[in-house]
Structure 1
Amino acid sequence: MRFGVLGPVQVRSADGAVVPVGGPRPRAVLVLLLLTPGRVVSLDRLVEGQYGDDPPAQAGNAVQAQVSRLRRALPGGLVEFSGNGYRIAVDPDDVDAHVFERLARDGRALLAAGRLTDAAEVLREALGLWRGAALVDLPHGDAQAARFEELRLVATEDLVDAELASPDGTQVARLRALVAAHPLRERFREQLVRALHEEGRTAEALAEFEDARRLLADELGADPAPGLAAAHLAVLRAEEPRTRRGLPARLTSFVGRDAELDRLAGTEARLVTVFGPGGTGKTRLAVEFATRAGGAACFADLSNVDSPDAVPLAVLAASGLREPGSRPGRTDPVDRLVAAFDQDLLLVLDNCEHVVGAVAALAHTLLARCARLRVLATSREPLGLTGETLLSLEPLAASTADDPAVRLFADRAAAVRPGFVVDADNADAVVAICAAVDGLPLAIELAAARLRQFGVAEIAGRLAGHGRFRLLSRGDRTAAERHRTLHAVVAWSWDLLGDRERVLARRFSVFAGASLAAVEEVCGVEDADEVLADLVDRSLVTVVDGRYRMSETIRLFCAQHLDETEERDVRRAHAAYYLALAQRADPHLRGAEQLTWLARLSAEHDNLMTALRHADRETGMRLVAALAAYWWLGGRRAQAGEVAAALLVGEIPDGLAEEYVSCVVHAWPRPAADHWERARRIVESGGLGRLRYPFGVALWGMVAGPPENPHADPGGLLGDDPWNLALGLFSEALIAVLDRGAAEGERGMLKALAAFRALGERWGAAQSLDWLAQDASWRGEWSLAHDRWAEALAMYELLGTTEECAELLCHRGRCLLRQGDPDGARAEFGRAAALFGRPAAESLLGLGEVARLTGDRDAAAGLLAAALAADEGGAWRTARTWTALARLADDPDEKAELHSRALRAARSPMLGAEFAAAVEGRAEVEPAGRAALLLGVAVALRGTARVGDPDVARVADAARAEIGAEAFAAAYARGAAMSRNQALTTVGA
């Protein structure tokens, strides 16, 4: 419903029908409620408004009866009782008085900003709401009515100022009427003097001033105010009328462009163009620079100019110089501008992009003929003049809480929600908001304004859901139309494009940044390089180091203009291009050019992921397999998980068994058991055929674990590819290390290392070095072990393989524990946990062991339980965790049961090194003689003793003390001399 109080009370329904309210008393109650909509008005205030300072005895009951009548007249629920008063549940924008106040404020802001046409439009709308005197139905509302009448007069004065400063001026007759009605309002008098002077009616202007001076002296004993005196002086000096030559007033603080201001201040160029995408704050920067520079300035907003021929006239109007009409002399607007601007003056030409040719021509003429003039232009593309200095205005940095974008959000948010600050609780959400809108200042301000409705977390979530154009659709109504919403900002640039530019722009939206070659092949636009250059000039595309990109905001806008058929075709071409790139890169990732191709694929990472998400099933499966080495080596293995899992649905396409296995490896969360078993059968039966992507076999081994038969010969599977042969050497050596003995494994691992180094391949070399380091650490060759780890870690860091770095740090942490350095071990496990970025069993187990060995039993219990819950790859990997929990347990029966679980877990598959560790754990719950034997059996299974293990040393010392050194040594030696089968029989396995 709509309510009017600027005149007799008026209530209209949604369809415009008048709703009768009743007699004068209910109307008075309604006025009082409407003056503060949504807020409670006390019963005492209602009585005072009805009856003044001397109410009758039963005034309260009378007002309550009037409220009841009002309730019956209005729709149910609008008038509510609350505590000691009543409230009307309507929005302020439904009441004409509040709409008037808002529009009057907006009009004044537009006037201060030099937006004369817009200011006049808004102020006329505000004054058009008045239907008579304010609050006429409120018997005792003189003070409130006087306030509204004063606001009405001020808005009228503002409207006259806006009209006087516009080329069309205002009506002198209207001003004479206003002066007659309000003879002591000096602003009306000043405006009348100026209007008469503008029309060349000098004598009348002087006579008007004299009348005003005499009246003020007679009535008030005062002299004219400065504004009226200045208007009189301008008439006496016969000055050319100058209205609003200056700069728009600053309505908000200036944030985040200090570097750009310094660049502007440091240039001596006479023509500087600030250019960049819409909403980056070009106008704000230009005004700020001109304000700080001081001196004479003229600001011309060209956004409303609708033809090139009108550019000089618009600048003429902005300068305060009107067309001369009947005056003799200069009639060419350019000649008049030359005459006026031949002085030390900064001319700011704002929003030039839609008339850039005409602006360039005018600037060239003015600069050539006015030697002291400087021009500062703002545009979404350069003017293209010789001697033009360009300042490209990029979005604000928005990656940390200290960046300018976040400071801008905080500043504007505090205006909407007083007291708002960016703190530890909301910093992440604010950074996410600023990053989501690409650091675009206008978008940041629009987002901050939504704090009236939403919290920062909800705003961040809505922006992440690609709802930015809908969310950021409520801007400052005083702003130009193209700056009121984020959609309008981008649409203004889109509307200026030609047909070929629009085709390329919308097709380019499938990219997340691209090379020229990719754009030419995927977009299918003739002369794509030239068209792309046009998009760069128009600030829709940026280019850095030969790569082109759109901001996410512009990209989403352009994507909306793709129809279904065009989008399908472009995405198919996009996926095919990046599949070809991935397939071309794959063999290089296994050789000396590894780092070069990793960097190339990293630059295309977002495109590769986009191609994967939008590809058909067969192309998607091929992409997963072709990118396996890149994802693993680049530390991005989990990013394809959900897409890979979705590709497993349905039968395996013909010829794509290898691709299917790769999807199983990468699927996240872990795919169903039937996929694992199906993939295992394919691998172990030789169903992959000749490998196209050899790295996939390595991944299968690492993720699925050792085969049920660890002695199986993988040679037939690996083929004759040099990297595959090196991988075969590494696999054989690793199985030997884990199952047949450290000495044999070390010899094989050295061969594998040499093979990888010969290829220049770092990942395989680092893997080999890591295991060689562990071998050395088992023997107590600490220095050699740490040297090998250092070399391996350097290789991993070059590759960016965070997962391998984390695992290596855990290996080094376990070594430091055996060296007696728990603090060093804790640091390594902590670094590993940070690199894993998730609750990883390996780092949790390490930290739990440190806590256990340093006596922090509660922390150890929690960490070990978390490690067990992580469950990252089969029961055999949990054996060490069961052993650690057993060593922590106090109850003998519980301890024995946990050690038994460790032994059972380590049997599947049977790897000597893992099983040996579980056997050493079991020794602590056995009688001393058997304990000594089992410690020896562990040596037989592992192929070497593990020097420095504090738990093994504790068990050995206890057994030796109980049965004597000689008996201990004999039992230990007997176990260490056993064959593998004898050792397993002894343990019962």
Structure 2
Amino acid sequence: MRIGILGSLEVTGANGAPVTVGGPRPRALLVLLALNANRVVGVDAIIAAQYGDEPPTDPAGAVQAHVSRLRRSVAVEYDGVGYRLAVDPDDVDALRFERLAGEGRRLLAAGGHDKAAAVLREAVGLWRGPALADLPHGSAQAARLAELRLGALEDLVDAELALPEGTSVAELRSLVAANPLRERLRGQLMRALHATGRQAEALAAYEDTRRLLADELGADPSPELSATHLAILRADRSPRRVGVPAQLTSFVGRAEEMARLRGLASARLVTVLGPGGTGKTRLACEFARDACFVDLSPVEDGDLVPHAVLGALGLRESGFVPSAGDPVRRLVSSLDRQSSTLVLDNCEQVVDAVAGLVRTLLGACPGLSVIATSREPLGLTGETLLPLAPLGADAVRLFADRAAAVRPGFAVTDANRADVAAICAAVDRLPLAIELAAARLRQFTVAELSSRLASDGPFRLLSRGDRTAAARHRTLTAVVEWSWDLLTPAERAVAARFSVFAGGASLAAVEAVCETTDDVLADLVDRSLVETDGRRYRMLETIRLFCAARAPEDARAAHARYYLALAERADPHLRRAEQLDWLATLSADHDNLMAALRWSVLGDPATGYRLVAALTAYWWLSGRHSQASESAMRLLAVPGFADGEEYVACVVHAVPRQLSHWTRAREILRGLDGPPRFPFVPTVWGMTAGPWAGAPWDPVDSMEALPGTDPWTMALNRLSMGIMLVLDGRPAPGEAELLDVLATFRALGERWGMAQALDWLAEVAGWRGEWERALSLWAESLGYYERFGALEECVDVLCRRADSLMRQGDSPGAHADLLRAGELSRRAGQEAPAVLLGLARSPEDLAEALAAARDDFGGTPVRARILTALGRHEEAMTAARTSPFVATLAAAVEGLASTAHAERAAFLLGSAVALRGTAVAGDPLVTATAARATAELGTEAFAAAYAHGARQTRDEALAELP
């Protein structure tokens, strides 16, 4: 069915036969519904359009009656609040007119005058009389349509004036007579007269207009009309090309890219390439200031590209130089006799047409060079690509420059530099996004803007821009949406799924998760939606966030499944000689692994538990285990999973720790009846929870071996035994065990086990005063941990080495190690209590260290040391007694000795030797205490008391302690 409302109502059926709609009210109702095709029109709106200010007694009933009559001819739907006419908008002449008028205007702006003229003729040809003639109270809508018709007629005249046949002067005179104050029509009449050689009449038409405006409005002609008058006076028929647009802001950064452009002076085609907002247009304009500038952003039809270039060259000017013939041939004819540069801006939406035209022009015009800006290459032989990456250090400079424009006096200082850097990073250091962000300093401080970008994201906050800018550059959303709209459905599907990756991905991962091939991925790279270094693929964060809003949920599930499979495949390799290669593989996808874990907490908890278990070795070898704490805690809160090694893995990573979970985890480990599927899980349990039996002072006897007969598990059991012997006051057999197990790990090529053994061998050597050997062993251990990137383990080694250096009297060396340990600790996302203790300079510093120390198996030794440093020796002794290792108690005993009377101090120092199994060579606290006791007792008495304490067995020493 077709409905005509541009004139009196006309309705025709699908067979072309007229459809009768009887009665003025039903006809008016049909006009109103057709004007709002496919939209519900409320009953109140219908009453207002039908009756105005004089509705009947029962207006709703009257409307219902009219609908009933109308339904005899037309299908009208009711949805509870109003009525709707379901019809193709193109079957309503008014709606078809609006679409055609808009399309014609776009074609006209793009330089496609012939196509624009054809579309606009069709549009105005739909009018048969006054619009909405059957709608008694539709004057506002009718006036709007009449204004649109007049605008379409003016657009049609402009299009026809640029064609060889021109336009009818007589028709233009009629239009002017009907609309005497429309200056655009009067200018078109002047141009039409001039184009037909009637210059005097054109000038007379201007005088008539000037007098009319002065008499009627007391105003002068518009600048546009005056310019037309001046051009006619000069009979100026010379082409006027479009130059590079003048810039309103300073040009910041891009020195390297500008230098490269200058170095490409001999290149005839350079394409400045990059995603939206990187500053492609600005760079091209700054470099080629004398070029002819062609803005292709309005051009949606490839056939119109030559017309747009003709217009920019001044060869399709409105009416003064009418064109004829093939536009490409005209371009070649114009450009083959001169050296010139064209800047073709925004080529991406018509890239194939641009490529074809450029190939033709460069082949036929030897003096021509082209600089194109695009989000994808033109793909021509001889094309030189200049990719634009986000700004580097210049990002802060650009922000400061634009911020000073909206907040006078603004400058980047030490106080706000971190926030400015965070703002730039949040918007991927894209120049346009930085400018949009700087403009928001009208409303926010730098700190507020940084915080809001972190919490709300860039798209919501950067929703305002320059009102005069092109629509695609007014907001950050528009920048990315411009690229999105150019993608095919298949490319959009892949881009949306790709957005689930965090930190990039390998080709294999993309193909699995995105269900695609590398061909589609290559298209996204060409379109600057995805970047690649040849090995991995990534999106800028702003683009990723835009696409993520369109990602299907099954993409995140596929992402989690893929990275679970990767983690489980990698786990056994982390205990072998190839562990560094697999650590590098997992580290490259660390962000993806953590993203998969975070999603699975709620999306698929079973996958989450498996991920924690499979990644345990990776996290501990690379010093990242604290990053799993939050997800582990959330998984433990999901009921139904309190079983298996996966559950134990979550328990040992969760912070804070809950007794019920630890009790259950201990039961699960003791119930293992075969080799563990994830051997590192019980290993971490042992390192975190201590001896499984939990009884104090019998760690060696209570240690339960890990199940399994493979070389790594057996070596790890022996490593644990060696460390416990050392900490249990039996350093000699412990050292022998560690030396043997070190050789085993070397044979396996397992560097984590080697680093552990070396660290504790160094500790024993330091206790004995074998300084050179200790430092050599620590250096080797630290080297392995650094290769892993194990920040937390590096902190532990540096702190132990700093203690040894302090005992040697090398305070500067110890301080340097502690400073480095502090930096690594902060990078790992925590403040290590041992670092705070080593760097403490006041009781307040020590109190801060104590607050940071955990009151558990792993934190007790440093907690006891901090209490000793605070002089709270009784509390230090109490804390040390909760540790299963006598080495912790020995340190607290030495601290207690510093406050005891001389004979007791000598005895306690000897007891510490008995507990530890050796003296800590050169310990400043021990040395100062021994010197004081010797001075008070005399050398022989001190030696006797010291020897008495040292002769004790461990149990005897424990019994003698307060």
TM-score higher than 0.5 here?
yes
Aligned equivalents of 1:328, 1:699: Cα separation in 2: 83
Q: Quick check: 1:583 aligned with 2:565? A: no
| Matched residue type, 1:320 | G
* Matching of residues 771-786 of structure 1 within 5 Å: 771-786=760-775
Aligned equivalents of 1:521, 1:363: Cα separation in 2: 38
RMSD: 3.8
Q: 2:464 aligns with which of 474, 479, 487?
A: 474
- The more displaced of 954-963 and 586-595 is 954-963
The answer (yes or no) to whether the contact 1:506–1:561 under 8 Å persists in 2 is yes
| Matched residue type, 2:803 | R
| Secondary structure of the corresponding residue to residue 464 of structure 2 | coil
The answer (yes or no) to whether the contact 2:914–2:951 under 8 Å persists in 1 is yes
Aligned equivalents of 1:870, 1:327: Cα separation in 2: 82
| Matched residue type, 1:243 | R
TM-score w.r.t. the length of structure 2 is 0.75
Aligned equivalents of 1:254, 1:488: Cα separation in 2: 23
What is the CA distance between 1:939 and its match in structure 2?
1.0
Q: Quick check: 1:435 aligned with 2:417? A: no
Residue 684 of structure 2 corresponds to: 699
Residue 285 of structure 2 corresponds to: 287
Q: Quick check: 1:321 aligned with 2:311? A: no
The answer (yes or no) to whether the contact 1:360–1:383 under 8 Å persists in 2 is yes
The answer (yes or no) to whether the contact 2:690–2:857 under 8 Å persists in 1 is no
The answer (yes or no) to whether the contact 1:686–1:717 under 8 Å persists in 2 is no
The answer (yes or no) to whether the contact 2:237–2:321 under 8 Å persists in 1 is no
The answer (yes or no) to whether the contact 2:725–2:731 under 8 Å persists in 1 is yes
* Matching of residues 762-911 of structure 1 within 5 Å: 762-837=751-826, 838-848=830-840, 851=841, 859=842, 861-874=843-856, 877-878=859-860, 881-882=863-864, 885-886=867-868, 889=871, 898-911=872-885
TM-score w.r.t. the length of structure 1 is 0.73
Residue 719 of structure 1 corresponds to: 708
Q: Quick check: 1:376 aligned with 2:368? A: no
Note closer, same or farther for the CA distance 1:937–1:716 as it changes in structure 2 (3 Å cut).
closer
Note closer, same or farther for the CA distance 1:173–1:879 as it changes in structure 2 (3 Å cut).
same
The answer (yes or no) to whether the contact 1:810–1:842 under 8 Å persists in 2 is yes
- The more displaced of 191-200 and 450-459 is 191-200
What is the CA distance between 1:577 and its match in structure 2?
0.9
Percent of aligned pairs with the same amino acid? 59
Residue 145 of structure 1 corresponds to: none
**CA offsets 1:512-556 (integer angstroms, 9 cap, x no match):** 22222112222224xx21111111111111111321111122222
What is the CA distance between 1:964 and its match in structure 2?
2.3
**CA offsets 1:921-969 (integer angstroms, 9 cap, x no match):** 2223333223222211211111111111122122222222222222222
Q: Quick check: 1:964 aligned with 2:938? A: yes
* Matching of residues 636-785 of structure 1 within 5 Å: 636-651=624-639, 653=641, 656-668=643-655, 670-683=656-669, 685-687=670-672, 689-707=674-692, 708=694, 709-712=698-701, 714=703, 716-785=705-774
The answer (yes or no) to whether the contact 1:816–1:825 under 8 Å persists in 2 is yes
Q: 1:553 aligns with which of 528, 542, 549?
A: 542
What is the CA distance between 1:914 and its match in structure 2?
1.3
Residue 530 of structure 2 corresponds to: 541
Aligned equivalents of 1:933, 1:663: Cα separation in 2: 46
Aligned equivalents of 1:413, 1:195: Cα separation in 2: 49
The answer (yes or no) to whether the contact 1:633–1:801 under 8 Å persists in 2 is yes
Note closer, same or farther for the CA distance 1:493–1:835 as it changes in structure 2 (3 Å cut).
same
The answer (yes or no) to whether the contact 1:883–1:899 under 8 Å persists in 2 is no
What is the CA distance between 1:785 and its match in structure 2?
0.8
Q: Quick check: 1:573 aligned with 2:587? A: no
* Matching of residues 480-519 of structure 1 within 5 Å: 480-512=470-502, 513-519=504-510
What is the CA distance between 1:612 and its match in structure 2?
0.7
**CA offsets 1:125-155 (integer angstroms, 9 cap, x no match):** xxxxxxxxxxxxxxxxxxxxxxxxxxxxxxx
The answer (yes or no) to whether the contact 2:609–2:635 under 8 Å persists in 1 is yes
What is the CA distance between 1:875 and its match in structure 2?
7.2
- The more displaced of 332-341 and 231-240 is 231-240
Note closer, same or farther for the CA distance 1:613–1:414 as it changes in structure 2 (3 Å cut).
same
Q: 1:936 aligns with which of 910, 928, 931?
A: 910
What is the CA distance between 1:304 and its match in structure 2?
1.0
**CA offsets 1:296-316 (integer angstroms, 9 cap, x no match):** x21111111231221111111
The answer (yes or no) to whether the contact 1:657–1:688 under 8 Å persists in 2 is no
- The more displaced of 260-269 and 821-830 is 821-830
Residue 337 of structure 1 corresponds to: 331
Moved over 3 A (4+): 114-117, 166-174, 189-211, 227-240, 323-330, 680-683, 686-689, 712-716, 875-889
* Matching of residues 413-424 of structure 1 within 5 Å: 413-424=403-414
What is the CA distance between 1:317 and its match in structure 2?
1.3
The answer (yes or no) to whether the contact 2:428–2:542 under 8 Å persists in 1 is yes
Q: Quick check: 1:278 aligned with 2:276? A: yes
What is the CA distance between 1:770 and its match in structure 2?
1.2
The answer (yes or no) to whether the contact 1:740–1:942 under 8 Å persists in 2 is yes
The answer (yes or no) to whether the contact 1:864–1:881 under 8 Å persists in 2 is no
Note closer, same or farther for the CA distance 1:200–1:549 as it changes in structure 2 (3 Å cut).
farther
Note closer, same or farther for the CA distance 1:327–1:518 as it changes in structure 2 (3 Å cut).
closer
| Secondary structure of the corresponding residue to residue 636 of structure 2 | coil
Note closer, same or farther for the CA distance 1:810–1:664 as it changes in structure 2 (3 Å cut).
same
Aligned equivalents of 2:532, 2:858: Cα separation in 1: 52
| Matched residue type, 1:477 | R
How many residues end up aligned between the 2 structures?
Answer: 779
The answer (yes or no) to whether the contact 1:482–1:492 under 8 Å persists in 2 is yes
What is the CA distance between 1:802 and its match in structure 2?
1.1
Q: Quick check: 1:595 aligned with 2:593? A: no
Residue 620 of structure 1 corresponds to: 608
| Matched residue type, 1:519 | V
Note closer, same or farther for the CA distance 1:557–1:888 as it changes in structure 2 (3 Å cut).
closer
Q: 1:254 aligns with which of 227, 251, 256?
A: 251
| Secondary structure of the corresponding residue to residue 272 of structure 1 | strand
The answer (yes or no) to whether the contact 2:240–2:314 under 8 Å persists in 1 is yes
| Secondary structure of the corresponding residue to residue 343 of structure 2 | strand
Note closer, same or farther for the CA distance 1:324–1:739 as it changes in structure 2 (3 Å cut).
closer
Aligned equivalents of 1:328, 1:916: Cα separation in 2: 101
Note closer, same or farther for the CA distance 1:690–1:167 as it changes in structure 2 (3 Å cut).
farther
Residue 634 of structure 1 corresponds to: 622
Q: Quick check: 1:608 aligned with 2:608? A: no
The answer (yes or no) to whether the contact 2:398–2:434 under 8 Å persists in 1 is yes
What is the CA distance between 1:578 and its match in structure 2?
0.5
- The more displaced of 328-337 and 768-777 is 328-337
**CA offsets 1:893-940 (integer angstroms, 9 cap, x no match):** xxxxx3222222112233121111122222233332232222112111
| Matched residue type, 1:841 | P
The answer (yes or no) to whether the contact 1:933–1:972 under 8 Å persists in 2 is yes
What is the CA distance between 1:747 and its match in structure 2?
0.7
Aligned equivalents of 2:318, 2:845: Cα separation in 1: 87
Residue 352 of structure 2 corresponds to: 357
The answer (yes or no) to whether the contact 2:786–2:794 under 8 Å persists in 1 is yes
The answer (yes or no) to whether the contact 2:315–2:321 under 8 Å persists in 1 is no
The answer (yes or no) to whether the contact 1:323–1:331 under 8 Å persists in 2 is no
The answer (yes or no) to whether the contact 1:880–1:918 under 8 Å persists in 2 is no
Residue 98 of structure 2 corresponds to: none
Residue 74 of structure 2 corresponds to: none
| Secondary structure of the corresponding residue to residue 711 of structure 1 | helix
Aligned equivalents of 2:197, 2:578: Cα separation in 1: 81
| Matched residue type, 1:829 | L
